[in-house]
C-alpha cells in the first residue's frame, strides 16, 4: 500500500512506540543476562568434563590397541604353526610312500614348498620320520631327538607324552620347552605329527623348532618398531633367547600361544607410545565451537531488543495477509527453488481435501498427484521450476483426498526477496473441473455424431455389398454342393477336386456370413459376442493370409491363450483387412517386402494389443487424422471403406485403433487395442 495510507502510518507509529518502550524491558534483559551467565558456567563445566573424558578415552584406546596387537601376534603364530603341521603331514605321507626309512627334507624325492616356518633358516633345527614300530629304538628319529631326550628327565617324560598324545588323540602335539642338563630352559620345542595309513598308526614325523628364530621370523619390522616380544613359560620363566625389552606394566599384554602340550605365553610390550592426536584435535575443535557459541550468544543479546520491537509489526502484517488470503477462492501455493512446499492457503486445502500441515515441507511426488500421472506431473513440475508459466498457464490434473480427479489451471510467478533475489515460485491454482467436464461432454457428443455418421456410411455400403454379392455367392454355394453330390455318387472320377470344392463351399458360406454380420452391425443390431481365444483366431487367419499372398506375415504366437469377448466373424474380417492392407503397401517400400504381426497382453490395463506393421512408405502425419474416414483411400481404384469398417468394428467391441510409423520396418504400424474378457465364473457345486 502507498506510504500515505492510514494502516502504514499506524504501523510506523507502532514501531516508534516499541522503540520508546524498550527501557521498560530492563528487568527482562536482566533475566536474560543471568541466563547467559548460567550458560557460561555450564560451558566451562562442559569443557572440564570433556577434558577428563578425553584423557580416559586415550588410556582406554591405548589399552585396546595393545590388546589388538597381542591378539594379532597370537593369531599369526598359531596360523604359521598350523601351516608347519600341514607341511610335516605332507612329508610323513611322502616318507610312507617311499618306504619306512627316515627321511630328511633335503633327501631326493621329498621336495616340499612349505610355509614361512619351514623356509626360514634356523627355525627348523631337526626333523625326520620315526615309524610306529621304532618309537623306542635309540637309533630311530632325527639327529637331535635322542640328545634332547636324554638331556633331562623332564624332557624324556614330555616327549613320551607327546608321542602318546599323537597316537591316542590322532592329532599333532607339542613338547617343551626342552631343558638343558643344568635344568635351565632352552628355546626349543618338539612337534610330532602322526600319520595313519588306512586307520592304522604308521608313525610320527618329528621336528625340533627354535622359538627364538620363529618369533624373529614371524614378527614384522613395522611391529618391532613399536613393540618388544618376550616368550614366557608357565607364566613365570622367561627364555634367555627371547626378544629383549621391558616396558611398564601398563604397556604390556600377555596372551597364550595355545600349542597343545605346552604352556607358552607371549608378552607384547609397547616400547613407543602413539600420541592420540584425533581426540586432542576434537577437543580443540569443540573448544573453539563452544567459544564461538558464547560469542554468538552475546551478539544475539544485542539484537534481542530490536526483535521485540519488530515482533508486533510483523504480527499485524501477518494477520492482514492471512485475512486477505483466506478471503480469495483461488488456491495459493509457494515453494522454494528445491521444490519443497513452503505455504498453501485455505482455498488450496479445500480444493484437494488436505490440511496445510500435511502439505507444507513436502517434496515431489506430492500426495495429490494421481498415481498414473506421476511421471507426466514430474516433468511439468521440473519445467515450472525452470521457467514458470506463460500467460495461458498450465492445465494438469490433481487428485482429491477422496479419490476423484480435479482439473486445475496453474500460473507461476517468481517469489523474490526484498533485495530482488529469487527464492522460489508462487503458484495460483484455479479449479477448472466444471469447464473441463463441459468440454468433455461436448467432445463425447461430437464423437457420437461422428460414429453415427460412420455407421450410416458403413450400413449403406454393407447393404449394397449384401444385395450385389449374395446372389453370386449363393450360386457358387449351389454349384459347389452339386459338384460334391456328383462326386459322392461317383459320376466324377477326380477325387482330387474334393478338397478344393469343400474349401470353395466353406469360403462362400463364410463370405456370406461376413456380409450378414457387417450388414447387421451397420444397422446397429446386437453383435454375436462369445468368449474366444485371440491366439487361435490369429493363427488361423494368418495361415490363410500366408497362402493367398507372396508376402506371408511373420509373427510369434504367444504361448498362453488371450481371451476376449467378441464377434468371431467380424474380428476375422478386421484382421484380414489389416493384414491384406499391409501386404499391398509393403511392395511399395524401398526394402524387401515384409509384414510383421505382434500380439501381446497388458494385464495391468486389462487389454489385448494387436499390431500390424509393414515396410511400405507409411502414413504421413497430415493424412493420419483422416485415414479412418469413409470414402478416403490412397489406393488406386479403392473405395476407401476398408479402414472405416475396421474402425467401426473396433469401436463396436469397445476398443480403439491407432496408426503410426514402425521404428524397425519403417512403414505404417496399425495398433488395435481390445478389452480382455473377465475371468470365467467358478462352476456351481451340485449335490
CATH number for the domain that contains residue 338: 3.30.450.20
Return d(Cα 557, Cα 386) in angstroms, integer: 47
Judgement on whether residues 461 and 359 belong to the same structural domain of the protein: no
412, 431, 450 - which closes a domain: 431
Judgement on whether residues 518 and 554 belong to the same structural domain of the protein: no
Residue whose cell numbers read 459320376:
491
Greater model confidence, 485 or 101? 485
Greater model confidence, 369 or 625? 369
525, 557, 579 - which closes a domain: 525
- Rg of the chain, C-alpha, whole Å: 49
Q: Is residue 38 exposed (0-12), middle (13-18) or buried (19+ Cβ within 10 Å)? A: exposed
Residue 4 within any structural domain of the chain: no
Greater model confidence, 289 or 128? 128
Which pLDDT score, from 0 to 100, does residue 438 have?
Answer: 87
Residue 216 within any structural domain of the chain: yes
Judgement on whether residues 360 and 481 belong to the same structural domain of the protein: no
Residue 56 within any structural domain of the chain: yes
Judgement on whether residues 359 and 392 belong to the same structural domain of the protein: yes
Cell of residue 270, nine digits: 609397547
Q: Could you give the number of structural domains in the chain? A: 4
Mean pLDDT of 200-229: 83
Residue 181 within any structural domain of the chain: yes
- Closest C-alpha among 572, 563, 597 to residue 518: 572
Judgement on whether residues 456 and 544 belong to the same structural domain of the protein: no
> What pLDDT digit, counting tens, does each position of 256-298 carry?
778 887 878 877 777 766 666 666 677 777 778 777 777 777 7
State the pLDDT confidence band at 443, using cuts at 50, 70 and 90.
confident
Judgement on whether residues 413 and 399 belong to the same structural domain of the protein: yes
Give percent of the chain above pLDDT 70: 75
Judgement on whether residues 406 and 470 belong to the same structural domain of the protein: no
Which pLDDT score, from 0 to 100, does residue 562 have?
Answer: 92
> Domain limits at 106?
24-302
Judgement on whether residues 390 and 440 belong to the same structural domain of the protein: no
- Closest C-alpha among 645, 400, 672, 338 to residue 537: 672
CATH number, domain at 456?
1.10.287
Residue 291 within any structural domain of the chain: yes
Judgement on whether residues 489 and 559 belong to the same structural domain of the protein: no
Which pLDDT score, from 0 to 100, does residue 354 have?
Answer: 92
Judgement on whether residues 287 and 213 belong to the same structural domain of the protein: yes
467, 493, 525 - which closes a domain: 525
Judgement on whether residues 436 and 426 belong to the same structural domain of the protein: no
State the pLDDT confidence band at 683, using cuts at 50, 70 and 90.
low
- Report the alpha-carbon angle 554-558-564, nearest 5: 110
State the pLDDT confidence band at 644, using cuts at 50, 70 and 90.
confident
> What pLDDT digit, counting tens, does each position of 406-436 carry?
888 888 888 888 888 888 888 888 888 888 8
What element of type H or E holds 97? helix 26-98
- pLDDT above 90: residue 517: no
Return d(Cα 206, Cα 145) in angstroms, integer: 8
CB 580 within 8 A of CB 586: no
Which pLDDT score, from 0 to 100, does residue 610 have?
Answer: 94
pTM of the full predicted structure? 0.36
State the pLDDT confidence band at 117, using cuts at 50, 70 and 90.
confident
Residue 165 within any structural domain of the chain: yes
Which pLDDT score, from 0 to 100, does residue 546 have?
Answer: 78
Residue 18 within any structural domain of the chain: no
Residue 317 within any structural domain of the chain: no
Judgement on whether residues 268 and 245 belong to the same structural domain of the protein: yes
Q: Dump the DSSP string for 107-126.
A: STT------HHHHSTTTEEE
For 465-486, letters b (16+ CB in 10 Å) and e give: bbeeeeeebeebbeebeebbee
Cell of residue 242, nine digits: 627371547
CA atoms within a 13 Å half-sphere pointing along the CA-CB vector of 304: 17
Amino acid at each position: 500500500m502507498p506510504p500515505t495510507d492510514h494502516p502504514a502510518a499506524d504501523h510506523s507509529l507502532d514501531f516508534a512506540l516499541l522503540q520508546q518502550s524498550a527501557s521498560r524491558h530492563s528487568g527482562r534483559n536482566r533475566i536474560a543476562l543471568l541466563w547467559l551467565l548460567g550458560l557460561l558456567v555450564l560451558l566451562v563445566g562442559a569443557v572440564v568434563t570433556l577434558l577428563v573424558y578425553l584423557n580416559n578415552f586415550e588410556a582406554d584406546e591405548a589399552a585396546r590397541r595393545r590388546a589388538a596387537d597381542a591378539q594379532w601376534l597370537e593369531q599369526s603364530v598359531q596360523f604359521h604353526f598350523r601351516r608347519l603341521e600341514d607341511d610335516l603331514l605332507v612329508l610323513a605321507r611322502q616318507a610312507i610312500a617311499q618306504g619306512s626309512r627316515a627321511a630328511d627334507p633335503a633327501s631326493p624325492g621329498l621336495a616340499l614348498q612349505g610355509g614361512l616356518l619351514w623356509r626360514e633358516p634356523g627355525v627348523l633345527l631337526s626333523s625326520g620320520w620315526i615309524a610306529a614300530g621304532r618309537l623306542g629304538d635309540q637309533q630311530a628319529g632325527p639327529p637331535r631327538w635322542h640328545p634332547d631326550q636324554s638331556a633331562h628327565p623332564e624332557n624324556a617324560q614330555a616327549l613320551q607324552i607327546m608321542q602318546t598324545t599323537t597316537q591316542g588323540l590322532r592329532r599333532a602335539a607339542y613338547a617343551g620347552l626342552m631343558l638343558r642338563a643344568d635344568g635351565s630352559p632352552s628355546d626349543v620345542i618338539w612337534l610330532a605329527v602322526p600319520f595313519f595309513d588306512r586307520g592304522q598308526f604308521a608313525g610320527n614325523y618329528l621336528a625340533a623348532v627354535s622359538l627364538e628364530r620363529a618369533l624373529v621370523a614371524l614378527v614384522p619390522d613395522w611391529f618391532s618398531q613399536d613393540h618388544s616380544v618376550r616368550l614366557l613359560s608357565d607364566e613365570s620363566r622367561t627364555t634367555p633367547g627371547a626378544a629383549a625389552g621391558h616396558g611398564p606394566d601398563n604397556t604390556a599384554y600377555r596372551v597364550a600361544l595355545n600349542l597343545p602340550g605346552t604352556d607358552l605365553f607371549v608378552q607384547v610390550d609397547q616400547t613407543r607410545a602413539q600420541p592420540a592426536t584425533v581426540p586432542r584435535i576434537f577437543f580443540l575443535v569443540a573448544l573453539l565451537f563452544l567459544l564461538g557459541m558464547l560469542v554468538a550468544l552475546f551478539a544475539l543479546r544485542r539484537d534481542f531488543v530490536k526483535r521485540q520491537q519488530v515482533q508486533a509489526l510483523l504480527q499485524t502484517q501477518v494477520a492482514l495477509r492471512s485475512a486477505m488470503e483466506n478471503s480469495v477462492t483461488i488456491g495459493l501455493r509457494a515453494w522454494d527453488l528445491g521444490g519443497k512446499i513452503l505455504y498453501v492457503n485455505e482455498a488450496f486445502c479445500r480444493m484437494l481435501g488436505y490440511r496445510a500441515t500435511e502439505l507444507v515441507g513436502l517434496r515431489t511426488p506430492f500426495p495429490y498427484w494421481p498415481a498414473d500421472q506421476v511421471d507426466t506431473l514430474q516433468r511439468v513440475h521440473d519445467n515450472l521450476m525452470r521457467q514458470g508459466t506463460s500467460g495461458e498457464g498450465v492445465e494438469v490434473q490433481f487428485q482429491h483426498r477422496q479419490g476423484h480427479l480435479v482439473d486445475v489451471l496453474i500460473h507461476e510467478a517468481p517469489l523474490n526477496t526484498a533485495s530482488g533475489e529469487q527464492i522460489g515460485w508462487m503458484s495460483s491454482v484455479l479449479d477448472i473441473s466444471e469447464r473441463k467436464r463441459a468440454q468433455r461432454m461436448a467432445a463425447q457428443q461430437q464423437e457420437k455424431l461422428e460414429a453415427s455418421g460412420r455407421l450410416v456410411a458403413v450400413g449403406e455400403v454393407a447393404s449394397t455389398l449384401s444385395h450385389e454379392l449374395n446372389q453370386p455367392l449363393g450360386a457358387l454355394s449351389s454349384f459347389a454342393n452339386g459338384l460334391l453330390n456328383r462326386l459322392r455318387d461317383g459320376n466324377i472320377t477326380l477325387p482330387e477336386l474334393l478338397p478344393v470344392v469343400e474349401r470353395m463351399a466353406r469360403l462362400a458360406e463364410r463370405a456370406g456370413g461376413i456380409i450378414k454380420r457387417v450388414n447387421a452391425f451397420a444397422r446397429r443390431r446386437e453383435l454375436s459376442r462369445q468368449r474366444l481365444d485371440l491366439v487361435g483366431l490369429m493363427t488361423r487367419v494368418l495361415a490363410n493370409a500366408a497362402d493367398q499372398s507372396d508376402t506371408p506375415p511373420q509373427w510369434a504366437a504367444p504361448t498362453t491363450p488371450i481371451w476376449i469377448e467378441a464377434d468371431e466373424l467380424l474380428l476375422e474380417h478386421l484382421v484380414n483387412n489389416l493384414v491384406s492392407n499391409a501386404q499391398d503397401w509393403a511392395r511399395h517400400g524401398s526394402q524387401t517386402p515384409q509384414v510383421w504381426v505382434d500380439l501381446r497382453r497388458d494385464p495391468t490395463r486389462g487389454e489385448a494389443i494387436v499390431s500390424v506393421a509393414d515396410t511400405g512408405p507409411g502414413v504421413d502425419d497430415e493424412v493420419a487424422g483422416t485415414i479412418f474416414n469413409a470414402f478416403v483411400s490412397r489406393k488406386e481404384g479403392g473405395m476407401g471403406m476398408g479402414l472405416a469398417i475396421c474402425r467401426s468394428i473396433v469401436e463396436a467391441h469397445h476398443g480403439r485403433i491407432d496408426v503410426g510409423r514402425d521404428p524397425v520396418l519403417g512403414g505404417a504400424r496399425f495398433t488395435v487395442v481390445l478389452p480382455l474378457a473377465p475371468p470365467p465364473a467358478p462352476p456351481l457345486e451340485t449335490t
